[in-house]
Amino acid sequence: MNANYSKLLTQILGILGVTGVSCLTILPAHAEEIRNAEYKNKTEIAQSVSNQRTNPRPSIFNEPPYNRGMKTPGVTPTENQETEKPPENPTTNTTTSEKNIVQIAAENDSFTTLVAALKAAGLVEVLQGEGPFTVFAPTDEAFKKLPQDALTDLLKPENKEVLVKILTYHVVSGNVKSTDLKSGEVKSLEGGNIKVSVDQGVMVNDAKVVQADIEGTNGVIHVIDTVILPPNL
């Protein structure tokens, strides 16, 4: 019995010894795999953070203008997502008409004196021509700034030549919009130069442009608040 017991004990110990070795072999290997996996995860996280720092996610403010507002196929904006609104059209003072500049003036209650003066000077047909013309048009209030009885005298037939000189001094050849005006001098149809200043609003000589770019079929009108006189008058 003792011999058999010893033999059995020896076998058991042998089995335990093999198992122990196996455990000692397997457990460290498994632990090594765990350590390797943890190291790999940490490395990948570090690389991801590094990539985010060196290659940050594009912002809408850094994208080219032609990419802004473009939708990604298959993606619907949610309530929390902001979509860029298209820019609103800028407002301008430009008024476009299908009539010529004389017809525009005749239909405007602010130009009754100017239209009467054009008729007295015989310039209606001229300014209804092809042009193009740029007219610095004085309002009725502008004509009232002239000396007393001056307008009445100008409208007399014997003063037609002077009236023509004054009116043609308000006209420039070409279609000159307010955006084309620069400080300096422009030549009028009368022959004299008009001094233009754009430093503080648009000024022509001592007159201020109060409304610009009324466009007609044969030119453009800029409304002024004072009658301007040619230098040689």
pLDDT, mean of residues 51-61: 41
| Percentage of residues of the chain with pLDDT beyond 90 | 52
What's the number of CA atoms in the CB half-sphere (13 Å) around residue 154? 24
Amino acid at 8: L
Q: Where does the pLDDT of residue 168 fall: very low under 50, low under 70, confident under 90, or very high at 90 and above?
A: very high
d(CA 17, CA 164): 128
Domain 95-224: CATH superfamily, name plus number: FAS1 domain (2.30.180.10)
Q: Where does the pLDDT of residue 71 fall: very low under 50, low under 70, confident under 90, or very high at 90 and above?
A: very low
Q: Whose CA is closest to 172, among 113, 95, 104, 230?
A: 230
Amino acid at 91: T
| Percentage of residues of the chain with pLDDT beyond 70 | 58
d(CA 36, CA 30): 10
Tell me, what's the pLDDT at 79? Answer: 45
